[in-house]
């Protein structure tokens, strides 16, 4: 019963955070016209792109090796790993902040707008402000408290909703100020929970990582590359559309991404649970439990998408008009985003079905597979966004997302079959034995 309760609580917290995030987009869109909503979208999407691209993804190594260290009772190395991860995350956040600040003077020219320099300079604070969150989350996950992580995420999104909704009432710059202030508050709250979880580990003097250092460094590098490549899919496509078109089209495309964002959030609780429990199972050698979990997830997700997608596809223009464009020209504005939204809806459904691909490589200690899969996806996506975007605008960019997603899912299907057929030791993570070799 405690496990069922914990899973349910995690799902409730994450879904509540999804609701807050969606409401934040709706409220900002309703308070800003299409042009200024496009400007705000350019700021937020660009900040998210560089934050993800330049992020040193230490938290995945922290979870993977953290479970190894907790299983072995190696508390000294665990504490050393946390300290190193926090420093690496802060460095990545600082680097992203510098790039955004350097980009600010050119923002008007890039996005065909005006008055974007100040919002970009303010948004440069976001990556560094958010950088400790991953380490705090890892501390909770290592205790199996993904339920607390879910509710911390909900509180974070509630604060972002308040900051954006209040700020957007006054303008784009004020909305970005509200977002930064709310992020600082959210980081403080999650940071406190993370510190409390960290202190629950048995006390031990920090010891050097020693022979494990190289494996951990390789894991961080591969995870960071994967995260950077993922940023090309989620945030670079609207940026490219904004460059080849204008910021207003970027705003329409951001609205069209709502189905994909919603579906990603729909599977988020399950992916968090899979990451926690399958990483622990793989570390203990319970390989069949991991593959059985993937089968159950895939069957359930496919059945759910078969029920949900058809009515959303049919009524997409009406839904967009009711939610995002209730004004005088709502029908025309909704039509501008509906074609892309329908295509992205299908892509989002596919990503839900193959959602295990986000946590599975981390669980088995092979984050390089994410680099490969998302790299191929990005190679397909980037030129198609430019070509299709120039030819068919927002709808063309949605088509590029769908094509690249189909390629991604096909590649991961092949990878999973090969991993499933491989000897279990070949798929296992780097063991704690320093004399053992990494497969």
For the chain, which residues make up each domain, given as ranges?
A: 2-427
Cβ 337 vs Cβ 256: under 8 Å: yes
What is 111-126 written as a DSSP string?
A: HT-SS-HHHHHHHTHH
What burial letters (b/e) apply to 375-406, b meaning 16+ CB within 10 Å? bbbbebbbebbbebbeeebbbbbbbbbbbbbe
Cβ 386 vs Cβ 401: under 8 Å: no
Tokens of 165: 């909704």
Tokens of 166: 């209040």
> What tens digit of pLDDT does each residue of 299-356 get?
999 999 999 999 999 999 999 999 888 877 778 888 889 999 999 999 999 999 999 9
Tokens of 362: 């981390």
* pTM higher than 0.85: no
> What tens digit of pLDDT does each residue of 357-400 get?
988 988 888 878 888 898 899 899 989 999 999 999 999 999 99
DSSP 3-state of 96: helix
DSSP 3-state of 284: coil
Token pair 């034995």 is found at 433
State the alpha helices, DSSP H only, in 200-329. 213-231, 237-244, 247-256, 258-283, 287-314, 316-323
Cβ 408 vs Cβ 354: under 8 Å: yes
Cβ 265 vs Cβ 15: under 8 Å: yes
Q: Give residue 104's pLDDT.
A: 94
Report, in angstroms and rounded to the nearest whole number, the Rg of the chain calculated over CA atoms: 21
In sequence order, which residues have a C-beta less than 8 Å from that of residue 351 and are 6 or more positions away?
Answer: 260, 263, 264, 267, 405, 409
Query: pLDDT in tens for each of the 439 residues of the chain?
Result: 466 677 777 778 877 887 888 888 888 988 998 889 989 988 998 998 888 888 777 887 888 888 888 888 888 888 888 988 899 899 999 999 999 999 999 999 888 888 999 999 999 999 999 989 889 988 888 887 878 877 888 888 899 999 999 999 999 999 999 999 999 999 999 889 889 998 898 888 878 887 888 888 888 887 777 777 766 666 778 888 888 887 788 889 988 988 888 787 777 777 777 877 888 888 788 888 889 989 999 999 999 999 999 999 999 999 999 988 887 777 888 888 999 999 999 999 999 999 999 889 888 888 788 888 988 998 999 899 999 999 999 999 999 999 999 999 999 999 999 998 887 543 333 444 433 333 3
Tokens of 276: 């926690």
Q: Give residue 172's pLDDT.
A: 93
CA distance 433 to 439: 13
What burial letters (b/e) apply to 283-293, b meaning 16+ CB within 10 Å? beeebeebeeb
- The upper half-sphere exposure of residue 371, i.e. CA atoms within 13 Å in the direction of its Cβ, equals 14
Nearest CA to 273 out of 63, 421, 116, 32 is that of: 63
Secondary element (H or E) of residue 5: helix 2-31
Identify the sign of the CA torsion 317, 12, 63, 189: positive
Identify the sign of the CA torsion 288, 291, 296, 299: negative
DSSP 3-state of 213: helix
In sequence order, which residues have a C-beta less than 8 Å from that of residue 5 and are 6 or more positions away?
Answer: 147
SS (H, E, C) 10-25: HHHHHHHHHHHHHHHH
CA distance 67 to 138: 10
Q: Give residue 213's pLDDT.
A: 84
- The upper half-sphere exposure of residue 315, i.e. CA atoms within 13 Å in the direction of its Cβ, equals 8
Nearest CA to 278 out of 303, 265, 261, 297 is that of: 297
């Amino acid at each position: 019963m405690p496990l069922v309760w914990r899973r349910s609580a995690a799902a409730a917290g994450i879904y509540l955070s999804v609701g807050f995030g969606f409401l934040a987009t709706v409220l900002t869109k309703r308070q800003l016209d299409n042009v200024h909503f496009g400007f705000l979208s350019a700021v937020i999407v660009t900040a998210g792109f560089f934050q993800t691209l330049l992020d040193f993804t230490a938290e995945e190594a922290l979870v993977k090796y953290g479970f190894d260290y907790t299983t072995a009772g190696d508390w000294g190395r665990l504490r050393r790993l946390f300290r190193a991860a926090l420093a690496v995350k802060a460095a990545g956040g600082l680097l992203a902040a510098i790039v955004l600040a350097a980009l600010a003077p050119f923002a008007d020219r890039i996005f065909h707008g005006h008055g974007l320099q100040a919002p970009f300079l303010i948004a440069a604070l976001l990556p560094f402000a958010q950088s400790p969150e991953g380490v705090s989350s890892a501390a909770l996950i290592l205790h199996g408290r993904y339920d607390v992580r879910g509710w911390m995420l909900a509180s974070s999104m509630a604060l972002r909703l308040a900051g954006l909704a209040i700020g957007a009432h006054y303008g784009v710059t004020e909305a970005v100020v509200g977002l930064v202030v709310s992020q600082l508050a959210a980081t403080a709250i999650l940071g406190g929970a993370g510190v409390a979880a960290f202190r629950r580990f048995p006390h031990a003097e920090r010891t050097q990582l020693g022979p494990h250092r190289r494996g951990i460094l390789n894991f961080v590098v591969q995870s960071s590359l994967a995260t950077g490549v993922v940023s090309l899919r989620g945030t670079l496509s609207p940026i490219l559309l904004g460059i080849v078109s204008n910021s207003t089209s970027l705003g329409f495309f951001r609205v069209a991404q709502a189905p994909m964002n919603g579906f990603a959030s729909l599977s988020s609780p399950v992916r968090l649970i899979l990451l926690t429990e399958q990483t622990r199972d793989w570390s203990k050698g319970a390989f069949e439990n991991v593959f059985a979990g993937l089968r159950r997830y895939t069957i359930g997700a496919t059945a759910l998408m078969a029920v949900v997608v058809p009515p959303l596809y049919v009524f997409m223009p009406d839904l967009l008009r009711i939610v995002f464009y209730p004004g005088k020209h709502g029908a025309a504005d909704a039509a501008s985003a509906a074609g892309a939204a329908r295509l992205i809806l299908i892509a989002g459904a596919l990503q839900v079905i193959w959602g295990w691909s986000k946590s599975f490589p981390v669980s088995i200690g092979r984050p390089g597979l994410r680099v490969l899969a998302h790299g191929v996806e990005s190679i397909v996506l980037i030129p198609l966004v430019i070509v299709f975007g120039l030819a068919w605008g927002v709808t063309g960019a949605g088509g590029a997302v769908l094509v690249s997603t189909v390629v991604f899912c096909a590649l991961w299907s092949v990878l999973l079959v090969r991993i499933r057929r491989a000897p279990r030791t070949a798929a296992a993570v780097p063991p704690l034995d320093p004399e053992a070799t990494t497969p």
